[in-house]
């Protein structure tokens, strides 16, 4: 983790000298060039604190309170414009500095002012509008923060990224002060001019000029200029540690299970030669239980004598959904013959933590076996797991004997179940069921595609940045790519339509999209190759070319008679949020 913190610091420092920082650089230089000698230090302190807070903590606050994604940015822009007005009017500026000094005097020694605290106010607003070309490190922190519990490690990485940027900006501000010092002594209106600069750039940010500029440079400048640390952030060392960041800390037993499970999965040994990988961890740190007597928790100790299949899933994961018919068949065939399946629901998106959403998903899938919420990734980490879906097969003595990651291999997995049941003295009955999961199309599928800025990739619009955007007319994307059109509000995790459209040029038979519509039901138009989708090509959730979006879940949009290459266009009503496309 220390190496990832170091990489985050270097990436943040490089961002501060990349073109991505240009929209906020004039504001930082203007604020740092005026006022007391300590103001640059205050700007750095405020920017570091607010950027770290916005990256890690605000994800939870916005999600919990249901606030609009652009509220914080709008508040920050208002602060910038307000501070510019203060600088423009000398009498108001003097009163403001005096008020700040009086307010902070009760907390700090009298000589620690000299512009520090007023600079902190400006720096705090800059940290909230600072939208750098975030590479995998910062994007990983944002994504994990949105779906998992807060940890010191994630805070440290975000803080290191912010500190790296802030220190470089501090040096730039010091250099700027030295250059303009002669001007400030000779020209009394210099401070007012700096105030005008801040007002102009505040208005420009309100009009999204900064975001349009960042999209433009991402398209037209070389990658080494736009993101100087791309190679560092995309290295094997960074990728490995980002995986650790999502998985969280592992105990020695979890590491043993993870390592042993990987070996067994790779070797795909016969069911009659199953090793003891490790002791199955207890269910700890969980939330609601479903499909148990009285919805009471189960324990691994209480399941001794039973063969237990632990299935890690999340309800918007198409791979998990395609596996559920096989799991239901195993429950029906072996549920009264000594097998207990426990679905461990570990969320990918914040809304998947909601117990009501999980209960609805259980009903839609027809799941009869027990399911438990693992919102804090406690059970996930105890197994050292990294996959959706992942299945761990536990014998009657509580030992993990086999593991399988992803879809498929259903016959072999049923053979494992039968072998463990016979080993425990249970009669599995004659012959296998022949059950399988839902089959994916046998073509080279378009990859899973995220709509939020943290993991957005392959967009015709260039780099997708947080904020409110007007992408203009919708372009037809090239194969396996996507395109935004019209107005959208983009956050790290999702994209909310303000009357916009999105298109994807896909290869698949089926297309799914995770959608939500807070507050009320809304509809989205579905077109295939430029025409309203026909009933023969429509997914289960589409009626007459429209999908009604109510709960937060995965919606089936396209279900073709056979795999093919097509362009799907979705036109959501304003207020609908999209998270990720998946294909099958």
Name the strand (E) or helix (H) holding 223: helix 223-226
Domain boundaries for CATH 3.40.30.10 within the chain: 250-423
pLDDT at 344: 98
Q: Please give the class, per CATH, of domain 250-423.
A: alpha beta
**Nearest residue to 29 via CA among 101, 117, 115, 119:** 119
As beta bridge partners, residue 404 has: 391
**Nearest residue to 488 via CA among 71, 186, 70:** 70
Q: Say if residues 354 and 278 touch (Cβ distance below 8 Å).
A: no
Other C-beta atoms closer than 10 Å to the C-beta of 269 total 15
pLDDT at 559: 95
- Kindly give the parts of the chain with pLDDT less than 70: 1-5, 7-8, 11-12, 14-37, 54-73, 76, 79-80, 83, 87, 90-115, 118, 125-154, 176-191, 194, 198, 205, 208, 210-272
Q: Say if residues 340 and 303 touch (Cβ distance below 8 Å).
A: yes
**Nearest residue to 80 via CA among 50, 112, 114:** 50
Please classify residue 306 by burial: count the beta carbons closer than 10 Å to its beta carbon, then call 0-12 exposed, 13-18 middle and 19+ buried: buried
pLDDT at 133: 47
Does the structural domain 449-583 have CATH classification 3.40.1790.10? no
> What is the chain's Cα-based Rg?
27
Q: How far apart are CA 179 and CA 30, in angstroms?
A: 12
pLDDT at 562: 92
| Residue showing tokens 């209106």 | 189
**Nearest residue to 268 via CA among 394, 408, 389, 383:** 408
pLDDT at 21: 60
Domain boundaries for CATH 2.60.120.260 within the chain: 449-583
Query: Sign of the CA dihedral 204, 49, 149, 281?
Result: positive
Apex 406 CA angle, 405 and 407, nearest 5: 130
Apex 257 CA angle, 437 and 400, nearest 5: 60
Query: Sign of the CA dihedral 540, 544, 549, 551?
Result: negative
pLDDT at 262: 57
**Nearest residue to 339 via CA among 430, 253, 423, 438:** 423
Structure tokens at 439: 């089959």
Q: What are the C-alpha distances in Å from 236 to residues 12, 232, 278, 283, 395? A: 19, 9, 29, 33, 36
Condensed to tens digits (0 to 9), the pLDDT of residues 1-14 reads 566 567 667 766 76
pLDDT at 4: 58
Condensed to tens digits (0 to 9), the pLDDT of residues 75-127 reads 767 766 876 787 677 666 666 555 555 544 444 444 444 567 767 777 776 66
- What backbone phi and psi angles, to 5 degrees, belong to 442? -90, 65
Q: How far apart are CA 144 and CA 159, in angstroms?
A: 15
CA terminus-to-terminus distance, the chain? 36
How much of the chain is helix, strand and coil, in % rounded to 5? 45, 20, 35
Other C-beta atoms closer than 10 Å to the C-beta of 67 total 12
**Nearest residue to 373 via CA among 328, 315, 300, 325:** 315
Q: How far apart are CA 315 and CA 514, in angstroms?
A: 10
Q: Say if residues 146 and 348 touch (Cβ distance below 8 Å).
A: no
Question: pTM of the predicted model, to two decimals?
Answer: 0.61
């Amino acid at each position: 983790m220390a190496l990832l913190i170091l990489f985050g610091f270097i990436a943040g420092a490089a961002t501060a000298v990349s073109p991505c920082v240009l929209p906020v650089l004039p504001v930082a230089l203007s604020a740092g060039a005026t006022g007391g000698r300590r103001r640059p230090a205050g700007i750095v302190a405020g920017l570091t604190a607010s950027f770290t807070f916005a990256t890690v903590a605000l994800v939870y606050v916005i999600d919990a309170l249901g606030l609009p994604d652009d509220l914080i940015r709008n508040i920050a822009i208002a602060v910038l414009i307000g501070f510019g007005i203060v600088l423009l009017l000398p009498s108001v500026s003097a009163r403001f500095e005096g008020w700040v000094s009086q307010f902070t005097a009760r907390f700090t020694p009298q000589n620690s002012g000299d512009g520090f605290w007023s600079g902190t106010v400006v720096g705090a607003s800059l940290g909230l509008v600072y939208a750098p070309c975030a590479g995998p490190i910062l994007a990983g922190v944002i994504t994990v923060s949105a779906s998992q519990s807060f940890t010191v490690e994630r805070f440290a990485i975000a803080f290191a990224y912010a500190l790296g940027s802030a220190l470089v900006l501090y040096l730039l501000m010091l250099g700027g002060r030295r250059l303009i010092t002669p001007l400030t002594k000779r020209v009394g209106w210099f401070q007012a001019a700096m105030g005008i600069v801040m007002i102009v750039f505040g208005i420009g940010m309100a009009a999204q000029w900064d975001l349009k500029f960042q999209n433009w440079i991402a398209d037209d400048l070389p990658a080494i200029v736009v993101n100087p640390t791309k190679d560092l952030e995309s290295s094997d060392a960074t990728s490995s540690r980002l995986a650790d960041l999502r998985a969280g800390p592992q105990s020695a037993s979890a590491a043993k299970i993870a390592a042993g499970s990987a070996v067994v999965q790779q070797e795909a040994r016969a069911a009659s030669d199953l090793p003891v990988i490790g002791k199955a961890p207890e269910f700890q740190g969980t939330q609601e239980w479903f499909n148990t007597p009285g919805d009471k928790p189960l324990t691994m100790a209480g399941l001794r004598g039973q063969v237990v299949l632990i299935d890690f899933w999340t309800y918007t994961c198409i791979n998990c959904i395609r596996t559920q018919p096989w799991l239901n068949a195993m429950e029906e065939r072996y549920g009264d013959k000594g097998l207990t399946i426990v679905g461990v629901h570990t969320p990918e998106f914040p809304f998947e933590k909601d117990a009501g959403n999980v209960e609805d998903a259980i009903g839609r899938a027809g799941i009869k076996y027990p399911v438990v919420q693992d919102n804090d990734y406690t059970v996930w980490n105890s197994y050292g797991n990294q996959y959706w879906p992942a299945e761990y097969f536990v014998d009657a003595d509580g030992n993990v004997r086999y593991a399988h990651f992803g879809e498929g291999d259903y016959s072999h997995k049923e053979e494992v179940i039968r072998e463990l049941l016979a080993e425990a003295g249970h009669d599995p009955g004659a012959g296998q069921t022949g059950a399988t999961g839902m089959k994916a199309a046998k073509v080279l599928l378009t990859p899973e595609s995220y709509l939020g800025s943290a993991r957005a990739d392959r967009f015709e619009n260039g780099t997708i940045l947080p904020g409110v955007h007007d992408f203009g007319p919708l372009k037809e994307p090239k194969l396996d790519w996507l395109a935004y059109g019209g107005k959208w509000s983009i956050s790290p995790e999702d994209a909310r339509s303000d009357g916009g459209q999105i298109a994807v040029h896909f290869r698949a038979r089926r297309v799914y999209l995770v959608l939500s519509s807070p507050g009320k039901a809304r509809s989205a138009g579905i077109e295939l190759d430029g025409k309203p989708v026909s009933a023969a090509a429509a997914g289960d959730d589409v009626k007459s070319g429209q999908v009604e979006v109510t709960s937060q879940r995965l919606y089936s949009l396209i279900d073709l008679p056979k795999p093919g290459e097509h362009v799907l266009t979705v036109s959501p009503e304003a207020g609908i949020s999209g998270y990720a496309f998946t294909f099958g």
